[in-house]
Amino acid sequence: MSIDEMINNNAVPKLASKTGSCCGNGHVELGSQAKQKSQPTKSGITTDIRIMQMCCPSEERIIRSKLADNEGIYSLEFKLLNKILTVVHHEAALPSILSAITTLGYEPEVEFAEKVTPLKHSQSKYLWLIIAAVLALGSEMVGWLGDYSWLSIALSIVAVALCGIETYKKGWVSLINYDLNMNALMSIAITGAFLLGEWPEAAMVMVLFSLAEMIEQNSLQKASNAIRGLLELSPALTTVLQTDGSWSEVDTKSIIKGAVVRVKPGERISLDGVITQGSSSVDQAPITGESIVVDKVEGDTVYAGTINGTGSFEFKVTAITTDTTLASIIKVVEQAQSNKAPIQRFIDKFARIYTPIVFLIAVGVAVIMPLFFAGDWQAWIYKALVLLVIACPCALVISTPVTVVSGLTAAARRGILVKGGVHLEQGRHIQWLALDKTGTITQGKPAFCDYLLLNNVSDNELYPKQLAMSLTSRSDHPVSTAITKGLQVELAAQNMQVLEVDDFQAMLGSGIQGTIAGQQLYFGTVRLAGKLNLLTDSDEALFAEYEKQGKTLNLLMTNSQILALFAVADTVKKESEQAIQALHKLNVKTIMLSGDNKHTANVIAKQVGIDRAEGELFPEDKLKIVEQLQRGNGGSSDSRLKPAAQCIVAMVGDGINDAPALAKSNLGFAMGALGADTAIETADVALMDDDLRKIPEFIMLSKKVHTILLQNISFAIAVKVLFLGITLAGFGDMWMAVFADVGASVLVVANGIRLLNHKTA
């Protein structure tokens, strides 16, 4: 059975707590500015607790077990890569939570700086490690002389004490909580080597283990900093208008909503806001990944982390530092780590079974082999100790979270906000992509292009236009907006005012209705006219001619007749055709689901090369088609377009009408989520701009992440099997075991963080 098959057959819950980095003892010093991390929620108090000693899944299990009996805790969420435990709890429970964590030998912090930078403490660890290495080497050299064994022993003990105390502490905590991790296994192995008289080797192995752990921690810190580094896109100081009319630079974190900020040419924008004076071009690539700058004028929105061009402008702050779009992106990427990919959940489960099994094998080698098969007890016990070191699944466990987090961060840098590893994993499986038309494939800004009076309406020509605009001005639908914009200049020139509309109502997927001067009026689709029994054969023939031209029709109607026809036309985004071609190269079939008429849908689909188009759909119709595709029934006579059973179907859209289909699809993409809190919070994947080409980029990134995951897992397992065989054959030693385990961990971490520089993601 392949690794993929084992993963897919592994039934685990959809959501699970996040794993993090492997066993490491590296510390970092706190920054100077601390921030309280508790805030009330509807169901209790939410507190972020940083535990610098928490870096392994085993430590997560130990903490969970310790806090399991605390009735004041409502939920726990572990972010091991950031060493943060988020607890939702009763207000009075925090002291007991901190006390319980402290009894494990950990140091919980509820006030800590946002920015974590390795400083003096980390440097001092390197200094002590160098001293320990010199002592261990001295112990080895003295041991060669043969006459100074007491000195060799003393040097070894001091070397282990200098670099291995943390390992012993964490190992002891693990053992008393019935959990085996690398620290526990190393503690047993080093102690066993001492008891066997292998003093110099035990000391050097501890030095090598500590050195490799520190290298590994630095690599993991790079992955973690890649996420937190997004915060640095927002400048620390901002020029703000003061009450006396002067301008002054102040701390960005102290700025409140409503403040007026000035942005100079070339500066980064510090907060979200609306331009009140001036204009410029803004590079939004740090958030959206788009390469083309966007022109901004008065009334336009600007976002924290983006870069101003050559102009200068002022804007009114609409979001403080913790509420900006940039902050939302960082929050989503961090929380996404808790939503594990299937391969990650599989590895976590596998590791919990694998380690005890290898530990039992080591015990068997130490006891059963010399007892029943003769041989030197000391030699077999030594082999067992080597097996303990090899047994640690660190490289295996760490290979998944680092790779997934690097993939999530790489996607965020390109303006693709993925809500978890499970969605990143799902991307490579997409077989069908269903697309909304308006705002997704097209610009979403249709323009008013045709007007025609019908049924011998002989009243003043502007009268139907006045009625239509009175209705459309009450709606924010793109078609209504286009018609309002197209009519307002003409009506203003004729001194025609918008009339009062009573009982206004939007009819989802059909149009709008209201009462003007006591007359019931409808403004909507040809389908709505059919429901009102107003269509004649000549009408249908006329409307079909317009629709064949790709125009969308809306009719002004009373209860008894159609008064006038209003047509709008949308334009296709220039990147839509490129996106569809890229999807087809990835063997993803495409279908357009539109509420517009079938002729318009077919015209647009043909322009961009979409496999199939469906028009005149209500939200429930879109939902049914997605369900049919998932079942393998595409509803098409073309066998080439019929997917296999249990198809993976993704849906991309930007409107309320798409919500049911988006929810039902295996993977939902939200278009143009920049600044839209709802889209960022609810979508599986949020595309920060309106570029469809980011979907094939996402699929390619998903494939790349999966490839690297399989590389890391295969390598870690191969190393374990190889050195297990070498040890049982009598050629392994503890030096080799340390290189096999920690060396493999460093390599898989390095391979995973390569994704941070992935260019096509």
Active site residues: 436
Rounded-to-integer distance, Cα 366 and Cα 343, Å: 34
Rounded-to-integer distance, Cα 625 and Cα 661, Å: 8
* Contact indicator for 528, 595 with CB cutoff of 8 Å: no
H-assigned helices in 35-85: 57-67
Output Rg (C-alpha) for the chain, integer angstroms: 32
* Contact indicator for 140, 200 with CB cutoff of 8 Å: yes
Q: Which residues pair with 273 in a beta bridge?
A: 302, 317
Rounded-to-integer distance, Cα 131 and Cα 160, Å: 11
* Contact indicator for 648, 666 with CB cutoff of 8 Å: yes
Cα–Cα distances in Å, from 597 out to 280, 491, 550, 604, 612?
40, 29, 9, 11, 14
Task: Please measure the distance between the N-terminal and C-terminal CA atoms of the chain and give it in whole angstroms.
Answer: 30
Which of 348, 337, 345, 346 is CA-nearest to residue 420? 337
Q: Is the Cα dihedral 199, 202, 205, 209 positive or negative?
A: negative
Query: 497: how many CB neighbours lie within 10 A of its CB?
Result: 11
Q: Which helix (H) or strand (E) holds 630?
A: helix 619-631
Name, in order, each residue with C-beta under 8 angstroms of 43's C-beta and a sequence gap of 6 or more: 74, 88
- The tokens for 740 are 């096999």
Question: Torsion angle, CA of 327/330/334/335, rounded to 10 degrees?
Answer: 50
* Contact indicator for 418, 682 with CB cutoff of 8 Å: no
With both helix axes pointing from N to C terminus, report the angle between 94-103 and 57-67 in degrees, rounded to the nearest 10: 130
- The tokens for 52 are 């610098």
Rounded-to-integer distance, Cα 717 and Cα 710, Å: 10
DSSP letter at 742 equals I
Which of 309, 328, 297 is CA-nearest to residue 269? 309
Q: Which residues pair with 589 in a beta bridge?
A: 432
